[in-house]
Every structure is written in C-alpha cells, then in structure tokens.
Amino acid sequence: MSPALAMFLGFIAITLWITWWAARRNTGSSAYFAAGRSLAAWQNGVAVAGDYMSAASFLGIAGIIAFQGYDGFMYSVGWLVAYLTVLLIVAEPLRNAGKYTMADVLAYRLSPRPVRAMGALSTLTVSTFYMIAQMVGAGALVSLLLKDTGIGYETAVVGIGVLMIVYVVFGGMLATTWVQIVKAILLMAGTLLLSVLVLAHFGFDLGAFFDAIGQVTYTDAQGNTVTQDFMTPGLRYTPPYGALDLISLGMALIFGTAGLPHILVRFYTVPDAQTARRSVVWAMFIIGSFYILTTFLGFGAATIVGRDFIAANGGTNMSAPLLAQALAGDLFFAFISAIAFATILAVVAGLTISASTSFAHDFWTNVLHHGRERREGEEVRVARVTAFFVGAISIGIAIVLGPSANVAFLVALAFAVAASANLPVIVLSLFWKRFTTAGAVCGLATGLVSSLVLIVLSPSILRADAVFPLENPGIVSIPLGFLGAVVGTLLRREPAAERKFAELSVRANTGLGAERAATH
C-alpha cells in the first residue's frame, strides 16, 4: 500500500470514529442542526476556518502564485478581509435573531413563506454550485494523488460523496464540526511545516528566498526560456479588463462570504453572540496566518520546483504536493496529499449540512407545513433524507461532467450569488425598517438571476464570444441585487413588517430572547 493511501485511510478512520461518537450524542433538532449550540469559541472558530479554506485555497492559490507570482498573492488577500464583513455586520445579529438558517432572520418580520422559499432556493443554488466545483476538483485531484493505486476519477468522486453523506446523515452538525476542526489543524500544521522547510532550503535566509523570487526561470508558451521577477504585478491580471475583474472578484468575496449559507449556519452552534464574535476572531487569526504562508507555498514551488516541472507533472493544482515531495520526499508528499483530501471532505460535509438544513427547516417545515412538525423529530429526518439526495445528485453531476470539466467558474458563481442575492436582503432586513417581503423576494431573485445570466455571458462559458467581458459578475450583480431589494420595497408599504422592526432590533442588539445552548 502506498503511504498516501495509508494516510487517506487513516484520516477516514478518524472521521468515521468522530461520526460514530457524534451520532450517539445527537438527540433533537438543535443537537443535529446546531451541535446543541454548545461549542466553545475556539472550536467554532477553527471549524469556520476548516469550512472555508477549500482545496481551491490550499492547492489553487499555491498554484496561481507558483505560475503567476504576485497576482496570485494579491488574490488571497480578499479571503481574509471578507471576514470583517462577517464580524462587524452579520455574525452577532444573526446569532441573536435566528435559529438554524439564514432565512430565519428574514422570516423574522417578513411574511415567512415567500422569503423562506426564496431563501431556501438561493441557499440550495449556492451550496450545489460550490459542491459540484469541489467534487469535480476532488475527483481529479484524488485520482492524481493516488495514481499509483489505480483509483480512478469515478471511484474517487463516489468515495468522497459517500463519506460526506455518512458524516452528515449520521453525525449531523457535531460530526461535521469536528471533521472541520481536525482538517483545519492538519492544514495549518502541513502549511507551517512546508513553510519552514522552504525557509530551511534557503538556509533560513529570507533575503536569499526573495532574491530567488526576483529571478524565476521558466519556459513560456512559445518555448523560449524566460527569467521573470515574480514579485512584479501583472502576470495574471492584464489590461484591459484585468483590474476590473479583480475588483469584481474582490466584491464577491467581501460581500459574498457573509452570505455563504455554510458559513452562516456555523454561528448557530455557539451559546451566544459574544461567543460567535470570538469565534470569528479565531477564524480570522487562522485564515490570515494561512494566507500569509501561501507566500512560502506558492513562491517556494515557483523557485524550488519550477513552473516547467509542475506543468509536466499534473499542472498548477499539484504545486503544493510537488513542493513537499521536492523538499522531504514521498512520505511528506503523501502527508500533504492526505491534507488536501481532508480539506475537500470537510468543505463538502459543511455544504451538505447547510443545504439539507435549509431544505428541511425552511422549505419542508416552514413553507409546506406552516412551521409545525407533524411528528416529533420530523425536521431532522427530512434533513437526513435531503443530505442523502444532495450527496447522490452531486456525485451524479460530478461524474457526468468528468474530470476535465472547467469548474472554477462555479466557485465564482457561488460567491456571486451569495453576495448579490443573500447579503443585500440580510443587511436590509436587519437595518432598514421599511424593508418588505416584496423587497426580499425581489432582491433574492434579481441577485440570483443576474449572477447566473452574467456568468453564462462571460468568458468562462462563451470563451472568445463573451458578451460580458469579466469572469466575475459581482461588480454588476451586487448593485443589481441591492437595487432589486430597494425597488421591491418601495412598491408598497408593509405595516406588519415595520411594526416588528423594534422587536428584531432589540433582539439582534441585546440578545434578549435568543436561542440558548442545550443543557446537558
């Protein structure tokens, strides 16, 4: 058995044990959907980091820096700054006024059925797009990392899908949380170790490291050998639309992270708003440290392994594992590969539970059955069945698309929908007294549709015939989402919603009457 496979199996064994442990403690809705609201700040903070840092961060950003230098590093900045929106605006009011989902806050003073139906639709759209992107990437990656063992793309996709279904169906939020915590700790340990090894390679002389970045040699598309200063901006984002595309991406990150359903549900797992706040601070510390260290991962791969070697051995996504192999041999390569695998599993499990929670709580219980469980435990049962179907559908789509499908745009789409549909209505329902049901439905619909349409018209799909020149629609779709919400609101007043604003505002700002932690 190859060391990589052994480490994969080791990680699977640990996570299955966690699931078994969590399944025995899961009793009732708040235990299943919100881990009993009893997580400590550090636990939730580390889990937020584990939920957020996908394979796209670990392998993708290291790869972009290895191939395009500084522009890749600039790309990684937005992923941290986005958490200021979460910290300053969304996390605490959401925890104080909600129960299990994003739509809880909207339904608080607006007409619950239409806003929950739209909220569930938007949540399922964001989660599904994000998940398909992860699954296709994961299948391709795992088959590449384990290529000596003969495990192919389909097997890898099915394996990952089955594992994520098992975590969520049996272990609920508690198991998902601990899988994310283990993954985040492994990811940070691996990243730190790699960074130290990169520094050791240069004799712990930062000057020598940066000098090497100034002269990276590679073969360009025409077959010429070029030496480039990788610290210079402009290798990736080139005129005429490069800067605009980057600003548009930045908008999707800064406003989208605070609208990602799988991140928002994490704030219901802590006892109160103060703990939610402290957990964002933990997450920001871990996420920030990680993205700063991508300097060593990315530039290390560029200088030590070299662009040509990476391109010949699996492409950009293999930069970090190949760097590990070059620095410390096959065993370390296996370790870093296992971390990449853990990263994918933790993220897809988080996506699955947020999608199934929203379907069960928003759509099944509140839209179809007027907020009543017809039988004890129905909501949890529906969520479990949904998790199974969400997993099965994602496996199916990932297999149909195949390993070579370009799915990077699906992540851009997920963030764009979160930023253009979810964030405007969350913010307006919390802070604008006049905001109405029509405004929320209109805002969600405009944000969702404009993001979808602009992505279809972009170079990601239409290539050279693109009608819309940017790959990231945020710069247009986010203002449209806000505009839709405002226009919908101004059509007609909704006195019932205005009357309940005082209640929402008191709850959101003081925590009076907020959902408590389960007592054990």
Partner 1 sequence: MAPEPRNTDLTPDTGSATDVAPLGRSAAKPAHERTADEDIDVADWERVAALAEFKALLAAKAKFIVPATIFFIVYYFALPALVGYAPRLMAVKVAGVINVAYLFALSQFVVAWIVAALYVRAAGRFDAMARRIVENFKARRR
Number of residues that bind partner 1 (CB under 8 A): 61
DSSP state of 56: I
Q: Does 247 bind partner 1 (CB under 8 A)?
A: yes
Interface positions, 92-151, toward partner 1 (CB under 8 A): 92, 112
Task: Give 226's strand partners.
Answer: 218
- 170 versus 241: smaller Cβ distance to partner 1: 241
Q: Does 399 bind partner 1 (CB under 8 A)?
A: no
Binding mask 56-75 toward partner 1 (x if CB under 8 A, else -) reads --------------xx-xx-
Give ∠ CA 175-191-208 in degrees, rounded to 5.
175
Asked if the peptide bond before residue 495 counts as cis, ω within 30 degrees of 0, the response is no
The residue type at 215: Q
Q: Does 374 bind partner 1 (CB under 8 A)?
A: no
The residue type at 352: T
d(CA 429, CA 425): 6
Least Å distance between CB 19 and partner 1? Answer: 31
- 160 versus 254: smaller Cβ distance to partner 1: 254
Q: Cα dihedral angle (171, 172, 174, 179), rounded to 10 degrees?
A: 70
Task: Tell me the window of 2-10, 77-85, 375-383, 393-401 that interacts with partner 1 (CB under 8 A).
Answer: 77-85
Q: Does 284 bind partner 1 (CB under 8 A)?
A: yes
d(CA 323, CA 230): 17
Which H or E run contains 385?
A: helix 378-401
Task: Tell me the window of 85-93, 261-269, 334-342, 446-454 that interacts with partner 1 (CB under 8 A).
Answer: 85-93
Distances 189 to 193, 289, 326, 339, 384 between C-alpha atoms, Å: 6, 11, 18, 10, 33
Least Å distance between CB 498 and partner 1? Answer: 12
Among 3, 114, 152, 233, binds partner 1 (CB under 8 A): 233
Among 88, 331, 368, 490, binds partner 1 (CB under 8 A): 88
- 70 versus 218: smaller Cβ distance to partner 1: 70
- Show Cβ contacts of residue 453 under 8 Å, excluding neighbours closer than 6 positions: none
Q: Does 502 bind partner 1 (CB under 8 A)?
A: yes
Interface positions, 288-307, toward partner 1 (CB under 8 A): 288, 291-292
Q: Does 192 bind partner 1 (CB under 8 A)?
A: no
Among 229, 308, 330, 376, binds partner 1 (CB under 8 A): 229
Q: Does 492 bind partner 1 (CB under 8 A)?
A: no
Phi, psi of 286 (to 5 degrees): -70, -50
Strands 225-228 and 216-219: antiparallel
Is the sign of the CA dihedral 93, 95, 99, 102 positive or negative? positive
Q: Does 217 bind partner 1 (CB under 8 A)?
A: no
Q: Does 226 bind partner 1 (CB under 8 A)?
A: no
DSSP state of 267: G
Nearest to 300 by CA among 212, 224, 372, 391: 212
Q: Does 243 bind partner 1 (CB under 8 A)?
A: yes
Contact status, residue 101 vs residue 358, Cβ threshold 8 Å: yes
Among 162, 200, 231, 490, binds partner 1 (CB under 8 A): 231
Phi, psi of 227 (to 5 degrees): -115, 125
Contact status, residue 343 vs residue 53, Cβ threshold 8 Å: yes
Q: Does 211 bind partner 1 (CB under 8 A)?
A: yes
Chain contacts with partner 1 (rule: CB under 8 A): 70-71, 73-74, 77-78, 80-81, 83-85, 87-89, 92, 112, 207, 210-211, 213-214, 229, 231-234, 237, 242-244, 246-247, 250, 254, 274, 277-278, 280-281, 284-285, 288, 291-292, 370-371, 496, 500, 502-503, 505-507, 509-516
